[in-house]
A and B are shown apart, each in its own frame.
Chain A
């Protein structure tokens, strides 16, 4: 069973590596396919253990559904909302900022889920994850307008919906 899993793991990374090789090369002649397959085999054998732990997760359609939903929702709704807020603050003659670094607690287990939450927070203007404490499960977030210093309320304001999606995709 474990050997089957590691073969599946190598195969998934092989697909990823070959896709990147093809996209980067920009053509699909016989030469590209042969060299791409050879390079991808080497890369996937070397790196598969480093990237995927459980190969059944990437084969789960429900996770992919949530990933696509989250990507669309994030890049349209959440990004626009955060941008509009920051643009208002920049253009306002008094520059109404109230910056602070706050401590909040996340509730996710896998590395990828934590990274997704942290990068989602950093990518929206106005909030940046400055530091992470894995033992206490804490994010230290620099917030342009610290409405509250309470960890739970700050979490609700900043990243509760990100976390919900990230856990469904990766945990």
Chain B
């Protein structure tokens, strides 16, 4: 029996080696830039030749996510929000948030280390979000990094500790809603301005278009903010950080109650 297994294994390894050798050129992605990517890289930051289609952001991914396909991202954010609403509706009877005694949590060592790392998590998350239009990252990524902190606090201290410190779900819902409100307002900002001025503009417009000459500010006090991108990233950071915090708190509250009922 054992020889059969060994033979099968050897054949498998040889077959895999052959596959990799022969199929190398097909399996490995080519290093050449494909035509769509070439277009986006050309259009992302091009104030010289493509002034009427460029996003004025050196970061191509954020430019695509918040400008070229901005409406898609808006709906993604809405889907996330709807999922949270569903989660809150399912666990609504838990949300009296009995802030009684906090649990024991982990040992003193872990707690001390968490206390030092807490501000660093926030600062790194904010840096990712605020440089989303310049370097890889953005509002969603930065907000997710910030949401690590409530998660860590729930694990290391306890969920009641977090609630007693003022991180209640109702406050998180307010922050989340303000973030979404900001995103919506940014999306129609240029439209509202042109409505007052009596000119022509699109919803979700960022830079000037051939038939709509109003534009979001590209620079503020000499700093590149790439129009709507900076505002979207900022508001998305608040919305996502608060949204994930709600999810973590609700999940852990449900678990605490389940353990108590048993």
By beta carbon, the residue of chain B nearest A26 is: B135
Inter-chain CA distance A118–B123, complex, in Å, is: 27
By beta carbon, the residue of chain B nearest A129 is: B109
Choose, from A16-24, A62-70, A144-152, A156-164, the stretch at the interface: A16-24
Q: Is the CB of B108 within 8 A of A132?
A: yes
| Given A30-B221, A111-B108, A114-B108, also A21-B127 (CB < 8 A) | yes
Inter-chain CA distance A24–B126, complex, in Å, is: 10
By beta carbon, the residue of chain B nearest A22 is: B127
Q: Is the CB of A47 within 8 A of B118?
A: yes
Binary per-residue interface labels of chain B (191-233) against chain A in the complex, 1 for a CB within 8 Å, 0 otherwise:
0000000000000000000000000000001111000000000
A residues near B222, Cβ cutoff 8 Å:
30
Binary per-residue interface labels of chain A (89-100) against chain B in the complex, 1 for a CB within 8 Å, 0 otherwise:
000000000000
Max count, chain A CB within 10 A of own CB: residue among B107, B119, B120, B130: B119
Binary per-residue interface labels of chain B (101-124) against chain A in the complex, 1 for a CB within 8 Å, 0 otherwise:
000000111011101101110111
Report the minimal beta-carbon distance from B55 to chain A, rounded to whole angstroms: 18
- Interface size class, chain A: 20 to 34
Q: Is the CB of B119 within 8 A of A16?
A: yes
Q: Does chain A have a CB within 8 A of B131?
A: yes
Q: Is the CB of B119 within 8 A of A51?
A: yes
Inter-chain CA distance A3–B123, complex, in Å, is: 25
Binary per-residue interface labels of chain B (89-109) against chain A in the complex, 1 for a CB within 8 Å, 0 otherwise:
000000000000000000111
Q: Is the CB of B130 within 8 A of A119?
A: no
B residues near A51, Cβ cutoff 8 Å:
115-116, 118-119
| Given A16-B119, A47-B119, also A115-B126 (CB < 8 A) | no
B residues near A40, Cβ cutoff 8 Å:
123
Give the interface SS of chain A, mostly helix, strand, loop or mixed. helix
Residues of chain B from 37 to 59 with CB closer than 8 A to chain A in the complex: none
Binary per-residue interface labels of chain A (1-31) against chain B in the complex, 1 for a CB within 8 Å, 0 otherwise:
0000000000001001100110011000111
Q: Is the CB of B119 within 8 A of A44?
A: yes
B residues near A119, Cβ cutoff 8 Å:
109, 113
Q: Does chain B have a CB within 8 A of A50?
A: yes
| Given A51-B115, A115-B112, A119-B109, also A20-B223 (CB < 8 A) | no
List 11 extra interface pairs beyond A17-B123, A50-B118, CB under 8 A. A17-B120, A21-B124, A21-B127, A30-B221, A30-B223, A35-B126, A39-B122, A46-B119, A50-B115, A111-B112, A114-B109
| 30 cross-chain CB contacts under 8 A | A16-B119, A17-B120, A17-B123, A20-B123, A20-B124, A21-B124, A21-B126, A21-B127, A29-B223, A30-B223, A31-B224, A35-B130, A39-B123, A39-B127, A40-B123, A44-B119, A46-B119, A47-B122, A50-B118, A51-B118, A51-B119, A111-B112, A114-B112, A115-B108, A115-B109, A115-B112, A115-B113, A129-B109, A132-B108, A134-B108
The 8 closest A-B pairs by CB, nearest first: A31-B223, A115-B112, A39-B126, A47-B119, A43-B119, A118-B109, A111-B112, A35-B130
